[in-house]
Structure 1
């Protein structure tokens, strides 16, 4: 387990911990290192912890720190509330530097492959040596300390916390759920605001969802290269689309997007997935629709090489099935 600063600089690594050690035993080990923590940190410092370490939250609180962890979805609840999803997004926005640090660590072949049991006694020393080397030679993850940009981004995210999700209310009231209220976009003169990548990064507060959007889009385009998108009959500024879950083939979510051609391009969004009600950024399903309609289709969107090969194979199979079978033909004399 790694202890990292917000910019990705690694302070120390703890462990290794065996698979039989639970959250409580790991927490007990951390509290034993509280003297080192007190040298590095001050009371009231915010500690970002992973969702799997619930007992650590209480331990850090006892030490005088302020722990933050993504919220668990309560049993029987299918979706986080807007406030819960927003708070979780604030945590993951800060925690990405830790994930990036671990990605750096695993670029060393020794840590990316299976480690033999006889090397376990030396594993901690190896990890700490590599961590120190990364700190020395590569430095922190965030090197461009543009405080103005970071302050502006933090202000935008905190402002979004209090924003009411208008589409959630409409869906809960049943005003956007019936089939009779929708029509296909190819049946009308449909227009959607065009946006640049930088605009999308500001809207989603990062590029993670944008990177996922191409894969999602490829999976949901029809034979003509279009999304099966519907527009509300009551207003042309609300659309919806069914997106397949990447975790379950039997699950799909409806995502709603409200846009404007005169004011802010994207005014509201909502999805039925676990984090789809948030207003701080957007889930991957919502981001895919916005990315494709506002950017990809205006910039000659192309399938990836792997997807293109699959498509060509399917087209070849279909064309072979359409060809007449000459083996049954014969001539009579």
Structure 2
């Protein structure tokens, strides 16, 4: 949130109006600020005391999680470096960007690409979108049956 408020490193120049910010629940305190900056925020839903999501909420959360997989996969690759897989001391914050650039350069130079094929992307996306508004048939069946 502080990075957005103070425009650290010119971060606001990275965004255009109505860009989509796909975030995890750890950013829940920043979503208001992101929306005020006219970003469209996608974050998995919270149960808020309920036992389960309705079908639409569950599908929306699944969509967000599937998109976030790409980010988490990249984070996992960086965390293979021992230094990044621990709590980082505040005194090293000024160097973190340099260390991250070095780690990413090494990953790009010596590791296989995280995603090797994009040939099915459109087909998979179309199938996901087609199923988005599908009801939870198992839940309906269980609600209608007396067990």
TM-score, normalised to structure 1's length?
A: 0.39
Aligned mate of 1:87, from 56, 60, 72: 60
Counterpart check, 1:40 vs 2:14: yes
- Which runs of 4 or more aligned residues in structure 1 lie more than 4 Å from their structure 2 counterparts after TM superposition? 135-140
Task: Report the number of matched residues.
Answer: 146
**1:152 matches 2:126:** no
Name 1:130's counterpart in structure 2: 103
Give the number of the structure whose alpha-carbon radius of gyration is greater: 1
1:134 to 1:42, Cα distance in 2 relative to 1, 3 A: farther
Q: 1-side partners of 2:84 and 2:69: how far apart?
A: 20
Deviations 1:189-227, CA, capped at 9 Å, x for gaps: xxxxxxxxxxxxxxxxxxxxxxxxxxxxxxxxxxxxxxx
Deviations 1:8-49 (A, max 9, x none): xxxxxxxxxxxxxxxxxxx12233237734433322221101
Q: Which residue of 2 aligns with 1:168?
A: 139
Distance 1:130 1:30, change over 3 A: farther
Offset at residue 153 of structure 1 (A): 0.9
- Indicate the structure with greater strand content: 1
Residue number in structure 2 paired with 1:71:
45
Task: Give the gaps of 5 or more residues in structure 2.
Answer: none
Q: Structure 1 unaligned runs (5+)?
A: 1-26, 179-333
Alignment TM-score, normalising by the size of structure 2: 0.80
Matches within 5 A, 1:1-333: 27-33=1-7, 36-75=10-49, 77-112=50-85, 117=89, 120-121=92-93, 124=96, 125-135=98-108, 138=111, 141-146=114-119, 149-173=120-144, 175=145, 178=147
Matched-pair contact (CA < 8 Å) for 1:105–1:111 = yes
Q: Structure 1 CA distance, aligned partners of 2:16 and 2:90?
A: 39
For the structure 1 residues 53 and 121, does the alpha-carbon distance in structure 2 shift closer, same or farther, using more than 3 Å as the test? closer
Q: CA deviation at 1:119?
A: 6.4
Question: Contact 2:56/2:135 (CA < 8 Å) preserved in 1?
Answer: no
1:79 is paired with a residue whose SS is: coil
Map Cα deviations across residues 68-117 of structure 1 (whole Å, 9 max, x no partner). 00001112x111111111000000111001111111111113333566x5
Report if the CA contact (8 A) 1:57-1:68 is conserved.
no
Q: Is the contact between residue 4 and residue 11 of structure 2 (CA under 8 Å) also seen in structure 1?
A: no
RMSD of aligned alpha carbons: 2.8
Displacement of 1:159 in angstroms is 0.9
